[in-house]
A and B are shown apart, each in its own frame.
Chain A
Amino acid sequence: MDKKEHISVPGQWPLSSYTWKTERFLDKYVEGLKEKKILGLKCPDCGTVYSPPVSICAKCHTRMRLGEEADWIRVSEMGSVITYTVIYTDVAPGGLKDLAPEERRFFALIQLDDVDTHFLTELKEVSEGEISVGMRVQAVWVDEPQGALSDLAHFVPVEWSI
């Protein structure tokens, strides 16, 4: 009888058996998105503006007042590219496949004007030659907002010739 040189025992530790819970601190933010408004939440102590909001201010360790109308502000739909990437490859059966130039997608970390935080979004209507750190961009909404993070569909370069 052939004897295998090594022993292999498959394990079982599926992440689907875990359940994480969290406070609903984005409710008001997505209600704003439904009305095509981007809301920011201001720390009552140090004034740092978060968008999307957080429940505790990392800067000064103050609990944010999610229910306090006065702490919410409508912020600009324009901002700047902090940094970006271009997706050149995608996962495919048997490994990675290279994307053709027209299939490549652009993602960026954006900081909105009047806001002290940044977030990840997709950039469209831009080319590899145009995209740059510091580029001015503006929000594009979906046609019928549902009150979801995806209402803020993506960002595009600001058109200066308004």
Chain B
Amino acid sequence: MRNVAVVGVGMSKHVSKRRDVNIPELVYEAVRPCFDETGLSPKDIDALVTGNMPAFEGLNTPELWGAGYWGGLRKPALRITTGGTTGMSVAHGAIYMVASGLYDTVLTLAFEKQSDGDTTMGLNSVGLADFANVFEYKGDMESVTLSFGGAIGLFVYQAARYMAKSGCTIDHFDRAAAMLRNNAAKNPYAHLKQPGSTAEDIAATRMLTYPLRYGHTCPASDGAVAMILTSEDRAGKIADKPAWIKGLAACSEVATAIGEYGGGSINIDPTEQRSCRFAANKAYKMAGIEDPTREIDLAEPYIPFAHLLFIYFERLLLCKEGDAPRLFDEGVMDIEGDLPTCPSGAVMSTNAIGASAMERIAECALQIMGRAGEHQASKEVHNAVAHGLGGAANFNTVTVLGDKPNRG
């Protein structure tokens, strides 16, 4: 397997409504900086991998725009769509292309323009087939809609279970949210910026569904991200300090809250996230990382809701199970901490769904390149872990990046 380098990273501005551009123009804003900073042009690109959640905008076959708007004229193109993990799955597709030797330099991009669409309708199209039996056998649809209205429905169950298992409190979620809002304020690409946000500010927001408050949730964003990946023999000529892909894995479990087609689910504990641990173990092994608690310098887990900061810090094996709240209290996850976590402000601050998981890789790459600007971690970042979450909290993707390519 060949080493793969990230040599270019571009992101659009993220806001709640971009009325001034259409979808392909929004993506262009992320693609163009990749060419500008690397000095490459579309003729240097061997293939294009793209992705979003077409059901969210109601516009299918977005790869139609690839040739004209995104620099993919007369190139092989591939689209990948996997829900919340879309952006990372797209990046994985591009990494496979370069690692396998099929192509040398690949442009990969992911996006969502949620303001054009109807995300609730899109989510319905994800869940409705599974509720078919609930309709047919006259289940109590009110319970289902009341308690699963929107993506938050599943996560409240996870948060309550995590509180019971770890002993942490809603106060932890308030403080985690405040940290992420402050980090986002330092990130030029972030959407929801609240400099000076405090745990008290978050605690003052209304309780939506116990135990999650409005201040624990993510916004809906319009935005795009793009990266140029290339092989080791080309990377040095393009970038002074590329970020290297060292390991990657994805893993799917059965749904955690309602079984497929109304049947029972064997994945009874939504906080377990075995698929995350499995993927993390595999990715660390590929990266030659034996002890992630010591060897990982920075983490960008996929955190659309505040409690997930603790769950995924643990499931990415960055500490012992149940230790995350204590480590958070000690400042370990701060930008200046020993293991800065989501210095970007996380998905909780910026969520253009299809783009979100690729942005976790992009943020790790910027940190390794030393180009994150105001939200650059205080410590030197040699190895970082990026994570994506999707489905009914049952599908996890992990990518390990580093400042040196794998050897041996």
Q: What is A's interface to B at a CB cutoff of 8 Å?
A: 5-6, 11, 13, 15, 18, 20-22, 24-26, 30, 48, 50-55, 58-59, 82-91, 96, 98, 105, 107, 109, 111, 115-122, 128, 132-134, 146, 148-150
A22 with B133, Cβ < 8 A, contacts A52-B264, A87-B209, A146-B138 known: yes
**Residues of B close to A53: CB separation below 8 A:** 263-264
Complex formed: what's the CA distance from A80 to B277 in Å? 26
- B209's contact among A6, A30, A89, A122, by CB below 8 Å, is which? A89
Q: Please report the C-alpha to C-alpha distance between residue A11 and residue B259 in the assembled complex, in whole angstroms.
A: 32
B106 within 8 A of A: no
Residues of B within 8 A of A21 (CB): 132
User: Which B residues contact A (CB, under 8 angstroms)?
Assistant: 19-20, 58-59, 121, 124-125, 128-129, 132-134, 136-140, 143-144, 146-149, 156-158, 160-161, 164-165, 206-211, 254, 257-266, 268-270
**Cross-interface CB contact of A26 among B137, B144, B164, cutoff 8 Å:** B137
- CB-CB under 8 A from B257, the residues of chain A are 109, 120
Question: Closest residue to A7 on the B side, CB-wise?
Answer: B22
Whether A83 pairs with B158 at a CB distance below 8 angstroms is: yes
Complex contacts, A26 vs chain B, CB 8 Å: 133, 136-137, 262-263
The closest CB in chain B to the CB of A20 belongs to B129
Complex interface: chain A residues within 8 A of B158 (CB): 83
3 nearest A-B residue pairs (beta carbon): A117-B264, A54-B263, A149-B139
Report which of B134, B143, B206, B261 forms a contact with A107, defined as CB distance below 8 A: B143
| Cα–Cα, bound, A119→B263 (Å) | 8
For B144, the chain A residues whose CB sits under 8 A away are 120
- Most chain B beta-carbon neighbours within 10 Å: one of A21, A54, A116: A54
Known: A85-B157, A88-B206. A105 touches B262 (CB 8 A): no
In the assembly, what is the distance between CA of A118 and CA of B270, in Å?
11
Q: Report chain A residues within 8 Å CB of B266.
A: 48, 50, 58-59, 116-117
B361 to chain A, nearest CB (A): 30
List 16 additional contacts besides A13-B58, A85-B210, A117-B263; criterion CB under 8 Å. A22-B129, A22-B132, A26-B133, A50-B263, A53-B263, A54-B259, A85-B156, A89-B207, A89-B208, A116-B264, A117-B265, A119-B265, A120-B147, A120-B257, A149-B138, A150-B140
Establish whether residues B263 and A83, one from each chain, have CB atoms under 8 Å apart when the complex forms: no
Cα–Cα, bound, A109→B129 (Å): 20
The residue among B148, B158, B265 with the most chain A CB atoms within 10 A of its own CB is: B265
Check B160 against A84 for contact (C-beta < 8 Å): yes
In the complex, number of A-B residue pairs with CB atoms less than 8 Å apart: 148
- B209 touching A15 by the CB < 8 A rule? no
Also in contact, A109 and B264, with CB within 8 A (given A119-B259, A148-B137): no
Which B residues are CB-close (under 8 A) to A133?
A: 160-161, 164-165
Contact of A115 among B20, B157, B264 (CB under 8 A): B264
| Bound form: Cα–Cα A115–B263 in Å | 12
6 A-B pairs whose Cβ atoms sit less than 8 Å apart in the complex: A54-B261, A109-B257, A115-B264, A118-B265, A119-B258, A133-B161
Given the known interface contacts A15-B125, A116-B266, A150-B139, the answer about A22 and B261 at a Cβ–Cβ threshold of 8 Å is yes
Determine the residue in chain A with the shortest Cβ distance to B213. Answer: A88
In the bound complex, what is the Cα–Cα distance between A54 and B262 (angstroms)?
8
Residues in B neighbouring A52, C-beta threshold 8 A: 259, 262-264
In the docked arrangement, what's the CA distance between A149 and B133, Å?
9
When distances are taken between beta carbons in the complex, the residues of chain A under 8 Å from B208 are 88-89, 96
Q: A58-B254, A88-B206 are in contact. Are A105 and B146 (CB under 8 A)?
A: yes
Residue of B nearest to A6 (CB): B19
Chain A positions within 8 Å of B146 at CB level: 87, 90, 105, 107
How far does the Cβ of B125 sit from chain A's closest Cβ, in whole Å?
A: 6
Q: How far is the CB of A110 from chain B (nearest CB, A)?
A: 10
Shortest B156–chain A CB gap in Å is: 4
Are the C-beta atoms of B258 and A83 separated by less than 8 Å?
Answer: no
Establish whether residues B124 and A15, one from each chain, have CB atoms under 8 Å apart when the complex forms: yes
Contact of A55 among B125, B263, B270 (CB under 8 A): B263
User: Contact at A83–B161, with CB atoms within 8 Å?
Assistant: yes
A83:B270 contact, CB within 8 angstroms:
yes
The answer to whether B263 and A20 touch across the interface, beta carbons within 8 angstroms, is no
Most buried by A among B19, B138, B156, B266: B266
Min CB distance B399 to A, Å, is: 26
The minimal Cβ–Cβ distance linking A26 to chain B, given in whole angstroms, is: 5
Give complex CA distance A13, B57 in Å: 10
Report how far A118 CA is from B161 CA in the complex, Å.
Answer: 14
In the complex, residue of chain B having the shortest beta-carbon distance to the beta carbon of A24: B136
**Is the CB–CB distance between A109 and B268 below 8 Å?**
yes
Given A54-B263, A107-B147, also A82-B161 (CB < 8 A): yes
Name the A residues within 8 Å of B164 (CB-CB).
Answer: 83, 132-134
